[in-house]
Chain A
Amino acid sequence: MSAAGLERPQVVAHVQQALHYTLFDCKWVPRSARLLCLGSAARGTGVLQLHELRGGRLVLLREIEKAKPIKCGTFGATSLQQRYLATGDFGGNLNIWNLEAPEIPVYSVKGHKEIINSIDGVGGLGIGEGAPEIVTGSRDGTVKVWDPRQKDTPVANMEPVQGESKRDCWTVAFGNAYNQEERVVCAGYDNGDIKLFDLKTMSLRWETNIKNGVCSVEFDRKDVNMNKLVATSLEGKFHVFDMRTQHPTKGFASVSEKAQKSTIWQVRHLPQNRDIFMTTGGAGSLHLWKYEYPAQRSKKDSEGAEMGVAGSVSLLQNVTLSTQPISSLDWSPDKKGLCVCGAFDQTVRVLIVTKLNKV
């Protein structure tokens, strides 16, 4: 038993750092050993902290304070030379910052009427093709796509029909960006709706409802033909959709797994292996999963239409690090197995997941 246990990937807590503010998001700065922590200070202002991982410690390099608390951030839409950070804050503002000169944002727009819950970027960092774009999802029920070269108006706006009561959008993700024209945005809402918008045809491509509010969605890779989508929800369930085959009525095939009794706050795929992903839980736990493809990924149904076949998910490792929910997780794109997670107990932890080569 112990021998088999030691062969599985281990999650080793490398560094732990207590912070003096509530941490909402943490991100690695690409091509470096630096990480960024975004959050809200006790007096209601936003905090951006840049740390560097040196030896066995996190050294604080810079601390920047902003007017409104910052909820989420991404490096996804900038080039590797510039490494500008796009953030969404509690006031509905989307800002892009140059971390060398953070006093004035490079781009700023009041995109939403209410807090921006989630942000994602695509087209930058040398990954994928096409224009750099940022998508934001907000509590006002709208999902907007922005291009940093176009001021003030979004390039795409997904909003509820006039008269429809709005539902909070909790999470957004880009996908299917395999050439210059194709792009897809997936949005998850608090009533369990998942909607897939195709930006090339500017239409709703697919929608479904998973009954519980959707906390996090992510494609396994943004820059390939869409392969898999993981959606996590309240009450410990997550669904893995096989996105290669869309059935005209049944949509995409999925497999669901109930991992823990609490909310699954985030899902993040390992950048170096798209079949491994980590889910973070409301009880302070982390679960590492591996997806196995079925023998045949699609089959024909009774009318002859192609239908996808979902595979299976197996748990590789789980560990409990905290008593509070772990609200954010980011894998380092440069070092396999290095990740940072932030929890609501005001600590940021750098973890190392070992033996991922042998999985």
Chain B
Amino acid sequence: MPVWLREFRWRQTPAAVYLSLPLRGVRVTSANIFCTDQYLKVSVPPFLFEAILYAPIDDTNSTAKIGNGIIFFTLYKKDMAMWDSLTLPNANKEKLQYLRENAVLKAHEKAKEETEAKKVTKQEHKKYALEATMKLEEAERKRIEDLKEKERQNVTKELELWRKEQKDTEKQKRVQKEEELYQEAEQLKEKKKEKMNNAGIPNEGTSKTRLKPTKGCGSYSMFSESLKEEWLPAPRSAATIKINFTPRVFPTALRESYVAEEEEWLRKQAEARRTINADLSELEDLKEEEKNPDWLKDKGNKMFATGNYLAAVNAYNLAVRLNSKLPLLYLNRAACHLKLRNLHKAIEDSSKALELLTPPVPDNENARVKAYVRRGTAFCQLELYTEGLQDYEAALKINPKNKTVEKDAEKIRHLIQGTTQDS
């Protein structure tokens, strides 16, 4: 049960009510005071003071001063009138209850409103701050732009001035030139007059001198020009300088080449040279040089050149046994087989050579053309003309400028057309 505080003193003016409430021995804070427009409560446990006011007051403006054991209330009346008493006289319990609840509700609403108002102000503050920073940045940017504009305008002005100067100087020069020319003309005329006076001139002479003025007038500009030309040196005597370009392994420029493929081709070549099929048991009785595939290849070529095709084939066979990855061996062996009319073997060897000649790069163009041509010839000699034509066309695709290949391809085409007509 709280202790009701009943000792209070109050006085009033028409506008306000002053209430002093002694509260000894306890600390009072603003949280303990609850006030609405017609209800006032101070609750500091265990003390309790409550008053239902006679008339409504303006609770937002009313104040409470807390100090030395006394709370001093200044309540501003809503209506200017004198109150008979501080509290309502006939307050029964229900009314009290109702009033209390009302008061509480009102207080709640008020609190809500206040928080919302606070939120709104906070938002506005934020907005304001943002706008302020934006303005600052804009100002900065504008400043820089203005500087640039100023520069531009300065330079434009200077340009205009300079252009005018140019025009003026040009005009001046022109005027000057004209004056000079006029003066020169005058001088020439005077000179001629002098000559005419000095010389005792026969008739022919006078005609000559009379011709001179017309020539003179037209030629003063020529005079100045020819003087200038003598001043320049004669054109150089023609000469040629021959130059070489930096060599490259592949004929195309670095950025045009298919670098990846070319690298692969180079690698394959290097590998091919290195692999030597070690079948040494059989080959122990061979001489050192006979174990070298290149040497054997050269031998084979020589024998081919002399017409000893079987011996050439033998040489190539041995070379292949030693190193099966050199495409040129197969290529040359195919040529030998063609000459020996071992056509199937020729086809086999050309095919093997073509296999080894991948990837197709400009470097192994010639080899590939030869392989196709040899295989094509073999096919034709076997009367498989369509396959032969295919190979010839492949060869032409690589090297379109080869005339013999073109002619042969034409011949084959005619043959094919001829046989189809017959049948």
Q: A residues within 8 Å of B by Cβ?
A: 2, 6, 10, 12, 14, 31-33, 53-56, 123, 130-133, 145, 147, 149-150, 153-161, 164-167, 180-181, 189-193, 195, 197, 199, 202-204, 207, 209, 211-213, 234, 334-335, 337-338, 352, 354
List A contacts of B152 (CB < 8 A). 12, 14, 352
Find out whether the CB atom of B243 lies under 8 angstroms from the CB atom of A159: yes
Residue B195 CB within 8 A of the other chain: no
Find out whether the CB atom of A203 lies under 8 angstroms from the CB atom of B151: no
Name the contact of A161 in the complex, choosing from B144, B238, B243, B248 (C-beta under 8 A). Answer: B243
List B contacts of A337 (CB < 8 A). 155
Give the nearest-CB partner of B155 in chain A. A352
Give the nearest-CB partner of A181 in chain B. B233
Contacts A14-B155, A131-B236, A132-B232 known; A191 to B254 CB distance under 8 Å?
A: yes
Contacts A10-B148, A180-B233 known; A167 to B253 CB distance under 8 Å?
A: yes
B139-169 CB mask vs A (1 if < 8 Å, else 0) is 0000010011001100110111011001000
List A contacts of B147 (CB < 8 A). 6
List A contacts of B160 (CB < 8 A). 55
Residue B286 CB within 8 A of the other chain: no
Q: How far is the CB of A151 from chain B (nearest CB, A)?
A: 10
Find out whether the CB atom of A158 lies under 8 angstroms from the CB atom of B151: no
Find out whether the CB atom of A160 lies under 8 angstroms from the CB atom of B159: no
List A contacts of B233 (CB < 8 A). 130-131, 180-181
Find out whether the CB atom of A213 lies under 8 angstroms from the CB atom of B242: no
Contacts A14-B156, A131-B235 known; A164 to B245 CB distance under 8 Å?
A: yes
Q: How far is the CB of B223 from chain A (nearest CB, A)?
A: 15
Residue B237 CB within 8 A of the other chain: yes
Q: With the chains together, A203 CA to B144 CA distance in Å?
A: 55
- The B interface, classified by DSSP as helix, strand, loop or mixed, is mixed
Find out whether the CB atom of A160 lies under 8 angstroms from the CB atom of B155: no
Q: B residues within 8 Å of A by Cβ?
A: 144, 147-148, 151-152, 155-156, 158-160, 162-163, 166, 232-246, 248, 251, 253-255
Q: With the chains together, A334 CA to B158 CA distance in Å?
A: 12
Q: With the chains together, A263 CA to B44 CA distance in Å?
A: 87
Q: With the chains together, A211 CA to B245 CA distance in Å?
A: 12
Q: How far is the CB of A193 from chain B (nearest CB, A)?
A: 5
Name the contact of A55 in the complex, choosing from B151, B156, B242 (C-beta under 8 A). Answer: B156
Name the contact of B235 in the complex, choosing from A155, A164, A197 (C-beta under 8 A). Answer: A155
Q: With the chains together, A191 CA to B250 CA distance in Å?
A: 12
Q: With the chains together, A193 CA to B65 CA distance in Å?
A: 98
Q: With the chains together, A191 CA to B243 CA distance in Å?
A: 14
Q: With the chains together, A153 CA to B148 CA distance in Å?
A: 52
Find out whether the CB atom of B244 lies under 8 angstroms from the CB atom of A192: no
Q: With the chains together, A10 CA to B237 CA distance in Å?
A: 48
With A161-B243, A334-B162 already in contact, 18 other A-B pairs whose C-beta atoms are closer than 8 Å: A2-B144, A10-B151, A33-B162, A54-B163, A55-B160, A145-B236, A155-B239, A158-B240, A165-B251, A166-B245, A189-B245, A197-B241, A202-B239, A213-B253, A335-B162, A337-B155, A352-B152, A354-B155
Find out whether the CB atom of B238 lies under 8 angstroms from the CB atom of A193: no
Name the contact of B241 in the complex, choosing from A2, A31, A202, A334 (C-beta under 8 A). Answer: A202
List B contacts of A10 (CB < 8 A). 148, 151
Give the nearest-CB partner of A52 in chain B. B163
List B contacts of A6 (CB < 8 A). 147
Q: With the chains together, A130 CA to B234 CA distance in Å?
A: 9
Contacts A147-B236, A155-B236 known; A354 to B242 CB distance under 8 Å?
A: no
Q: With the chains together, A53 CA to B167 CA distance in Å?
A: 13
Name the contact of B232 in the complex, choosing from A131, A153, A191, A334 (C-beta under 8 A). Answer: A131
List A contacts of B234 (CB < 8 A). 131
Give the nearest-CB partner of A337 in chain B. B155
Q: With the chains together, A149 CA to B160 CA distance in Å?
A: 38
Q: Can you give 16 A-B contacts (C-beta < 8 A)?
A: A14-B155, A31-B166, A33-B166, A53-B163, A130-B232, A131-B233, A131-B234, A155-B235, A155-B239, A159-B240, A160-B245, A161-B244, A164-B245, A165-B251, A167-B245, A203-B241
